Structure 1
């Protein structure tokens, strides 16, 4: 290992400071607090670091670790601005500006719909009707009752994605028959890029092994699917 690499490794393992971005257990966190050891008999000082998750799947989750003995813990090097190596052509610039405009839709801007452009499906005109109605509602409350095969799942997915993109919704819970749980999960992932997790007995057991017996399954992920019968049983409450 060269001298520069050794210095870089030492910097990664150095005691972090509040506000720094770190990587612990293959996830990224922001340092909330650092408490140094007060034991005089310690051969080397140790620090208890309080971390706050910035990952989408665990936003706001907190973790305390002893920094010096936590395997793989490191401070993420601050990245600088990229170097400008050239200019894009006019077509690329136009596409970029269109993407910025589509991504800048706000709660008050009802003229732009983002979900149809970000989904991976071919949408029929009638499937946009529930989406337009949802955007016009102060509080979305829709009953979609189209005939079988007309794409109710797609219509619901468009509404979910649009509300998430506009920050009008932060969490989503889909309650459906047990036989349709996997269908909903796959379609939301493949057609809208939305990662849902199925909450059932197996999920509860795995979650509590990983996060403790008091882990709440309903706050474990921002997008969840469960069956009507399992929800009525109250097992996860």
Structure 2
């Protein structure tokens, strides 16, 4: 709890596109319920919070963390482990966190090939063939760039995950439903589903909902 009595909420993006953050904002006025019932203490895309602020928090002091994005580099892994330590409930939020999704396509190629394609192919203006280095000494001081891992991993391949919320991104109405559920739990009106459950997902696919009919293979 914070000084105002609200439970703490956090959201983080690792290797992702930012669509999950947009999906959260697309819940429209429901975002006011988040503000009314939670104290947002860490959400890098929306507020100026530092890693050191999270590190200073007591373990388990964050009630709910939505973690989106795959684990691509050592910074992603560090924050995943940090938020696991600080959070009571950690949700793998979105397809990148739950199954790797687009970032995990990099696993089809060796890391050096991925980097070379990004920095040394004809579509890149890089005449000196400069590649990122983990440590770079600049006039302003030493710059540290997180090291890329050879394999992209899902969140549960790095830390223990409480719940999974799939989607690329998760549907906004499903996000709103999950928020309502958590608020009901806080108010003693509902219970959390069993650990490891998939939340915020319906029982049908997009193809099931599509009105178009397919009559040929």
Tell me which interval the TM-score lies in, with the shorter structure as reference length. Answer: under 0.3
TM-score of the two chains, using structure 1 as the length reference: 0.21
Q: Give the greater-gyration-radius structure (CA).
A: 1
Structure 2 length-normalised TM: 0.23
Higher relative contact order, structure no. (Cα contacts within 8 Å, ≥ 6 residues apart): 2
Between Structure 1 and Structure 2, which shows a larger proportion of helix residues? 1
